[in-house]
């Protein structure tokens, strides 16, 4: 089964979940305006596994931050679940980040001086999940990434690979449709990185839409679709 056929199939059977229409993003640093995205358009449908690659400074993180409702585009339209992002107010954007999107960053993923379990439980605190249900759900997600036994460790007493796995567990507790990962394996050795990618692959099979940024081709190879960015524009999308 080739990737193109699979993609086509999905497009006919599944809904578009993310849609970029001519997205521009400029940063203002003093008098200088820098255009990090110069008109980007693409659609991502539910259940896709997309890798975003490109050289440093090409605008990958900028794109990811807009997708994750952490930042707003300067111009263009971004539809999330077929609704224009501008239509959501601040609280609703928080709710989207809480329920619909799970974030895994490259570093500074966990709250310091807080146990692994409390870190994983935190999104449920904001998501109004009943207190009694939280611990079980957190442990279940930690079990998925094989870290149930580290639940009571402090976040600074686990390894880099374990931190990323905890971040994955945390991103899953609210059962979001989309997982966003900005270079989640950037700080890890190849073996650990592939282990982490195994989890993403598995989660994608379970139906999560996954968008991840990476520099490395072997990591991008886990995805079913690769969007290459260069100088704020899409160079290729396949």
Partner 1 sequence: MEFIELFILAINALRTNVVRTVLTMLGVIIGIASVIIIMSLGSGATQSIVGEISSFGANILTVQAGRNVRGPGGGGGSTVDTLVEDDVKALALLPNITSVAGLVSTNKQITYDGTAVQSSISGVEETYAQIHELSLSQGSFISESQVATRSKVVVLGDQLVEDIFGVDAQVVGESVRIDGKSFRIIGVITDSSSALAPLSTVQKVILSQNYFNSIEVLVDDSELVTSAETAVSDTLLLRHEINNVNDADFSIRSAQEMIDSISSVTGTLSAMLAGIAAISLLVGGIGIMNIMLVTVTERTREIGLLKAIGAKQRDILWQFLIEAVVVTLMGGLIGLSLGVLVTFVATKFLSIPFVVSLSSILLAIGVSTGVGIVFGYYPAKKAAALQPIDALRYE
Residues that bind ligand ATP (CB under 6 A): 27, 29, 34, 36, 54, 56-62
Q: Which of residues 73-102 bind partner 1 (CB under 8 A)?
A: 90-91, 94-95, 97-99
Per partner kind, with CB cut-offs from 5 to 8 A, the member of Mg ion, ligand ATP, partner 1, none near residue 36 is: ligand ATP
Contact status: 126 vs partner 1 (CB under 8 A): yes
What letter does residue 175 receive in the DSSP assignment?
-
For the bound state, the minimum distance from the C-beta of residue 32 to ligand ATP, rounded and expressed in Å, comes to: 9
Cβ contact 45:16 at 8 Å: yes
List the structure tokens of 113: 């001086």
Q: To which residue do tokens 């998501």 refer? A: 127
The residues, ordered by sequence, that sit 6+ positions from 111 with a Cβ below 8 Å of its Cβ are 118, 119, 122, 155
In the complex with ligand ATP, the residue whose CB is nearer, 95 or 237, is 237
Which of partner 1, Mg ion, ligand ATP, none has residue 88 at its interface (CB below 5 to 8 Å by kind)? Answer: none
CB of 109 within 8 A of CB of 169? Answer: no
Smallest distance from partner 1 to CB 133, Å? 14
CB 229 within 8 A of CB 53: yes
61 near Mg ion (CB under 5 A): yes
Residue 34's binding partner among Mg ion, partner 1, ligand ATP, none (Cβ under 5 to 8 angstroms by kind) is ligand ATP
Nearer to partner 1, 66 or 220 (CB): 66
Q: How far is the CB of 82 from ligand ATP (least distance, A)?
A: 26
Where is 170: in which H helix or E strand? helix 160-172
Q: By Cβ distance, which residue is nearest to Mg ion?
A: 61
Helix (H, G, I), strand (E, B), or coil: what is residue 18? strand
Q: 104 and 197 in contact (C-beta within 8 Å)?
A: no
Q: Output DSSP code: residue 189.
A: -
Closest contact distance (angstroms) between CB of 115 and ligand ATP is 30
Q: Does position 214 bind Mg ion by CB under 5 A?
A: no
Give the angle subtended at the CA of 143 by the CAs of 206 and 44, to the nearest 5°.
25
Q: DSSP assignment, residue 7?
A: H
- Asked if residues 82 and 19 have their Cβ atoms less than 8 Å apart, the reply is yes
Residue 59 binding result from partner 1, ligand ATP, Mg ion, none, given CB thresholds of 5 to 8 Å by partner type: ligand ATP
Cβ proximity of 36 and 27 under 8 Å: yes
Task: Select the binding partner of residue 57 from Mg ion, ligand ATP, partner 1, none (C-beta < 5 to 8 A, by kind).
Answer: ligand ATP
Per-residue tokens: 130: 């009943």
Binding to partner 1 by residue 144, rule CB under 8 A? Answer: no
State the residues that interact with Mg ion by CB under 5 A: 61
Interacting residues toward partner 1 by CB under 8 A:
65, 68, 70-71, 90-91, 94-95, 97-99, 103, 105, 108-109, 111-114, 122-123, 125-127, 131, 170, 174
């Amino acid at each position: 089964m080739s990737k193109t056929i699979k993609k086509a199939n999905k497009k006919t059977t599944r809904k578009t979940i993310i849609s970029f229409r001519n997205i521009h993003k400029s940063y203002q640093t003093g008098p200088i305006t820098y255009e990090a995205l110069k008109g980007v358009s693409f659609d991502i449908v539910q259940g896709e596994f997309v890798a975003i690659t490109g050289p440093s400074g090409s605008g990958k993180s900028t794109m990811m931050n807009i997708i994750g409702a952490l930042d707003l585009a300067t111009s263009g339209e971004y539809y999330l679940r077929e609704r224009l992002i501008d239509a959501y107010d601040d609280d609703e954007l928080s709710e989207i980040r809480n329920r619909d999107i799970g974030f895994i960053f490259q570093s500074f993923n966990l709250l310091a001086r807080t146990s692994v379990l409390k870190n994983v439980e935190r999104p449920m605190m904001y998501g109004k999940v009943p207190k009694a249900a939280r611990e079980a759900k957190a442990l279940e997600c930690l079990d998925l990434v094989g870290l149930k036994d580290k639940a009571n460790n402090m976040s600074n007493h686990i390894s880099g690979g374990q931190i990323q796995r905890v971040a994955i567990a945390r991103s899953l507790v609210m059962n979001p449709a989309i997982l966003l990962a900005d270079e989640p394996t950037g700080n890890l050795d190849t073996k650990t990185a592939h282990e982490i990618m195994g989890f993403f692959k598995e989660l994608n099979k379970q139906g999560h839409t996954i968008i991840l940024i990476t520099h490395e081709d072997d990591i991008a190879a886990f995805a079913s679709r690769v969007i290459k960015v260069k100088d704020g524009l899409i160079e290729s999308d396949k």
